[in-house]
Amino acid sequence: MTTFPEKTDLLAAFAEQRALLLITVRGLTDAQAAERTTASELTLGGIVKHLAQGEETWTQIMTEGDGELPAGMLDMGQYRMAGGDTLPALLERYARAARATEAAVAASADLDVSVPLPRTPWSPPEPEYWSVRRILLHLIRETAQHAGHADIIREALDGASTTAQR
């Protein structure tokens, strides 16, 4: 029986969720990536931008460990493709963020390491700490949730679905 280290398994699960999300933007133009197709304000490009920002933010929280609020963490513009955004540039940013996250997790001595969370308007009064594992699981969940949103948005855009495009 072969066993795999927990980091390897979690990073593989995360890579799979990213890959599923990326299927939803395959072959799109910038205009299509920026198009709203449902009652939601979310667009495919906006989801990619948000997930890139999220990985950048959480990787900084994980590696800095200072409890400071990363720049842009609360910026609502992260959910929308801005006029100067292009899908290829957002995809490259997402790929860079993924590599940085993977490197940070690989470099972590222990997934149980406790990291202080930054203070946000919704934070409890006392300081909060998450393990590197919990941060990674949060990112996996966030990616999976938005991959589902992206699949619905893409299907409304042109009828394509992740399942059919695999």
- What would the pLDDT profile of 6-18 be if each residue is shown by its tens digit? 999 999 999 999 9
1, pLDDT greater than 80:
no
DSSP letters along 122-150, please? T--SS--EEEHHHHHHHHHHHHHHHHHHH
Question: pLDDT category, 2, cuts 50, 70, 90?
Answer: low
Give the model confidence (pLDDT) of 33-84 as tens digits: 999 999 999 999 999 999 999 999 999 999 998 988 888 888 888 889 998 9
Contact 24, 151 (CB under 8 A): yes
Structure confidence at residue 56 (pLDDT): 96
Q: How far is 2 from 21, CA to CA, in rounded Å?
A: 29
Stated pTM of the model: 0.93
Q: Please, how many CA atoms are within 13 Å of residue 135, restricted to the half-sphere of its CB? A: 31
3, pLDDT greater than 80:
no
